[in-house]
Structure 1
Amino acid sequence: MKLKCLRSDNDCEYCDKDFKELCELNGIKREFTVPRTPQQNGVAERMNITIIECARSMRIHSGLPKQFWAEAVNTAVFLINRGPSVPLDEGLPEEVWSGKKVNISLLKVFGCTSYVHTDAGARTKLDAKAIKCTFI
């Protein structure tokens, strides 16, 4: 699907020359609301709050430091797009967007313990075959 229009709050996050050229090149119409009036874009602002609260909760629950906020936000958005949505009559946003069935059987808990296999050439006979990691 092609993005047709982008609405932002005119607060300069999306005001640089390169982004303007990218939108023009791809035929994306840009709309701006009055600066510092988030109520003009209520649905997006409420979703931003939902995403941030979900990411904060996952990061704190996992015990990861604040530097992993971006990974937590990406995971929150990933999960929201694969969960039921009232405006879509309980459909899944990812399925509506892509037209493909969503497989959630591979989901893992954000921040859970995971293990990465160590190649045989990088270890000796008595070394561990895996390194303990945190899944993000």
Structure 2
Amino acid sequence: RNLPKHYWGDAVLTNAYLINRMPSRVLNGRTPRSLLSGSHQPFLLPPRVFDCLCFIHDHSPNVKKLDPWSIKGVFVGYSPTQKRYRCLDPTVGRVYVTRDVTFLEHAL
């Protein structure tokens, strides 16, 4: 998939999110986040592959019983303020912030 260039800032933020939560030899196996905040829980959400295919559950009240319940999207990062994923709907350019997502990380 080829994300537009203005989403590559999200790639950098996602990288920083993951690096800050991974143990480092320099820090004797501790994470940078645990040193700064005292938190020992490395990941609030399971790590995901950037730019992977995902399906966002549609919670809008307009969805009827036989309508599609998901929106095809692309994973673009983690929310900085909530325990949620950021997923892009490339057809309309909208970014959804949600936890109700199914990821297909190994799909082409």
Normalising by structure 1, what TM-score? 0.48
Unaligned stretches of 5+ in structure 1?
1-61
Counterpart-to-counterpart distance in 2, 1:120 and 1:85: 42
Unaligned stretches of 5+ in structure 2?
77-108
Aligned to 1:91: 30
Counterpart-to-counterpart distance in 1, 2:60 and 2:22: 40
* Structure with more helix by fraction: 1
Counterpart-to-counterpart distance in 2, 1:120 and 1:95: 38
* Structure with more strand by fraction: 2
Aligned to 1:65: 4
Residue pairs, 1:56-135, within 5 angstroms: 63-104=2-43, 106-119=46-59, 121-135=61-75
- Which 4+ residue blocks in structure 1 deviate beyond 6 angstroms? none
Q: Which one has the largest radius of gyration?
A: 1
Aligned to 1:4: none
Code of the residue aligned with 2:64 in structure 1: it is T
Q: Is the 8 A contact 1:116 1:132 kept in 2?
A: yes
Paired-residue identity, %: 36
Counterpart-to-counterpart distance in 2, 1:120 and 1:77: 32
- Aligned partner of residue 116 in structure 1, secondary structure: strand
Query: How has the CA–CA distance of structure 1 residues 129 and 111 changed in structure 2, closer, same or farther, with 3 Å as cutoff?
Result: same
Aligned pairs, number: 75
